[in-house]
Structures are given as structure tokens and as C-alpha cells.
Structure 1
Amino acid sequence: MTEHHPSTAEMLERLATEMHDAEGVEQTVDTVVEFCCRAVGCEFASMVLIDRRQCLSILALSDPKLAELYHEQVRFGEGPLITAVQQDKELLIPDVLVETRWSQTWTNAALVAGIRSAIHIPVRVRRDPGAVLSLFSGTPGGFDDDDLAVAHLLAGQAAVAIARARDDRNPAVATDVRRLIGQALGILMERYDLDDERALEVLRQYSKNSKRKLRDVAQELIESRRPAPLPENA
């Protein structure tokens, strides 16, 4: 039997499903970083926030030794992470050993971390710059143009997911979401004679089956006032 290798579309669909189940910014970013290692086949991945004053905030690391690599760049004021933010463009580093854009200090730190090639993609969450998605390989030439394209797609997915997770943490938005879900539950309870606990279970199953946010499903239900048939797996 021929082994099936998932397409980019299939991988992004899986990522969307996993991010749908993530709770909050931290878990969302952890999901993206973990998925990068599987989708691109790199040894390490990370996402950090660094502003133009070079204040660093590490959001997720697949390996804790990457933290020192980042702190070294901030300490010396140079490196690919800082360049990616300042120039707001992706960086592909084919081989650390022959890279000349940064000092030997950065080269040594990368080699100590076991890195020979890397991709850095700036991530804009709405209009806010400063997040960088990074993928690392222990071999030279570890990434090609296809990997760079996939990394861009993953960065885009991450930006959308982080923005939504931030909204969920916003008290005003959270209140609106609770109101939407409450109205949707009322419709289900009346239509199918359910108690509130059972209605919530049904709404969650609608959300899971359609791979959409609970609030989006609730909004659609309120607007149409025509709930779908009860899910068999609810």
C-alpha cells in the first residue's frame, strides 16, 4: 500500500481543527508551534514577540534551548530575529556556517543550539507587528521554497487564531459571546425540549462537526432560527 502524505490543504485543515479546540493565546500559539514541526519536518519551532525597542516576550518554544539564542540576539542587538522585525520580511537562512549578515557571536550561539538552517516569518496580528514565527533545522539546506510558502500559510493561520483568542479574552467581547450562546441555547431548548446542559452539548457538537467557533455557530442559529437536526453523536 502506498503511504499517504498529507497535502498542504489537509495539513492546514488539521491545524484549523486543532486551533479551534485551543483555549487562549498561549495554547493557540503552542498548537501552531507544535504543528510547524510536524507540517514542515523541522527540528525546532518557536513564536516570539519583539517590539522595535527589542523588548522580548517568548510565546512558545518547542525546545527551551532556543530561549538563550533569542536572549543573545537581544543582548547584542543583532540577529535574524531582530532583522525580521525591523525589515518586516521573511528570512531564509540556508546555512548558518556561511551566513555573513550577522556576527560570529550569533553564528556560535546558533551552532551551540544545534541549528544549521532557519526560516523567520514576521506575523502581524491585525495591525500589530512584532511577532515572529521561526522554524529551525539541524542540517544545512533544511528548507526550500515550498517550506517557506507553507511557513507563510502557517503564520497567517496563527495571526487569525491569536486575534480571535485575544478577542475571547476581552471582557466586552466575552460578554457578547455569552449573550449569543445564551440566545442560541434558548432556541435549541424550545425547539427540541432540552434542558440547558443538553442544549449546550448539542451546540458544541454543531461547532465540532462544522469545525467552526461556538460563537459563529450560535450567531448563525440566531439569525436563521432554524436549528439543524440533532447530531447523532451529541
Structure 2
Amino acid sequence: MVKPKNKHSLSHVRHDPAHCLAPGLFRALKRGERKRSKLDVTYDYGDGKRIEFSGPEPLGADDLRILQGLVAMAGPNGLVLGPEPKTEGGRQLRLFLEPKWEAVTADAMVVKGSYRALAKEIGAEVDSGGALKHIQDCIERLWKVSIIAQNGRKRQGFRLLSEYASDEADGRLYVALNPLIAQAVMGGGQHVRISMDEVRALDSETARLLHQRLCGWIDPGKTGKASI
């Protein structure tokens, strides 16, 4: 008997632990809070490792969901973006990522696709123009986030992601993910595994925020005790 094909093509995310576990990076936001607050988060996770996130607006559960979808899409279809891209689009993505210090020679990763494909994979409305515009707004908000990552004496700086020639009107998507996420996707270091089936099943901001933190805290197949 042939099993019916899953309408979603992506099963999981290989995400960077720091992006999943930094307290306050993604929050449940009150109405109007984005206009009043800024993003300023520092996460010290031991052994000389420290990461700082800053931006003009705080990030919400909607931004978290979009980033999860982009990282998932990078898994099977992502293209490595090296220090010296050969194409104009690659050079622009690299420029907009604003790599500094050690990051100048680090690989990033490109996601090419469409807003509709991204919406489908995260379980969002596909046929709504407003929903697709909201996805573009989230990506632009994520692009505004600057990161400084310290590992011992090594220091990297970059944008959380960069976007080039993406167009909500015709649905094209062309995004670069920062070197820390790229390393997790490519299996070059520690990563957090997040089930996309679980991501699609969640329907509240609180559930999405808790789910990512729990995935970062507990390895797949293991159990742990949590208190609230």
C-alpha cells in the first residue's frame, strides 16, 4: 500500500542553539509594544561564549515562526554563501549581511523560494495577500537585528539575516541566513532539532515560544523536568 504524500515537504529544523535559547529574543508582545520597545538581548552560555542581539523593534512569536520556516527551507535546498560570491545576487546578500571580524571569512547560507512555500511549510494561510505581506514584514524585521557573537577571543558580527530582490508582489524569496545558523544547518556544530509537524500544529504565541525553548533544552527522544 502506498502511503499518501505529505502536503508539507519539510520534516524538521536544524537550528542554532543560541537563537533558540537566548532569553527574551522572541516574546509574546502586547499591542503597540513594537513601537515603544527595542531589542536588546545578551546571552552568556558558558565557556567564553556570548551573543548579543540588538534591533529597533522587539521580536515576537510570528518572527520566530518565520525564522523557523526559513531555516527549515535551508536544510534540503540551501546554497552555501562563501566569502566571495560569484553572482551579483550573492554579492548583494553578503553585503547586506554586513559580516565583521571573524565572520568576514565564514560561510552563510542562501534560501531561494517563495513566500507561498514558506507560508505552507509553517502552516500559515497561503492564499491571503495580507498573510504574505505579514511574512515580508517579519523578514524585514529580522534583517534589522544585529548580532555580535563572542567565542573566547574570536568575535563575529553580522545581521540575523539579509534579503535581496525578494518581492511580495510576485512571491519570490531570496534570503541569506547568518553564519551561526548556516553552521547548524550544515552540521558543523551543535544544533537544535525542531519538528515542523509540531510547529504547524501550534496555534498560540505562548505555545510557539515554549516549544522552541523546550526543543533547545531537551534533546529529541529524551525527557526532562520543567517548572513555570
Q: TM-score, normalised by structure 1?
A: 0.28
Higher RCO (C-alpha under 8 Å, 6+ residues apart): 2
Task: Kindly indicate which of the two structures has a greater share of residues assigned to helix.
Answer: 1
Bigger radius of gyration among the two = 1
Q: TM-score, normalised by structure 2?
A: 0.29
Task: Kindly indicate which of the two structures has a greater share of residues assigned to strand.
Answer: 2
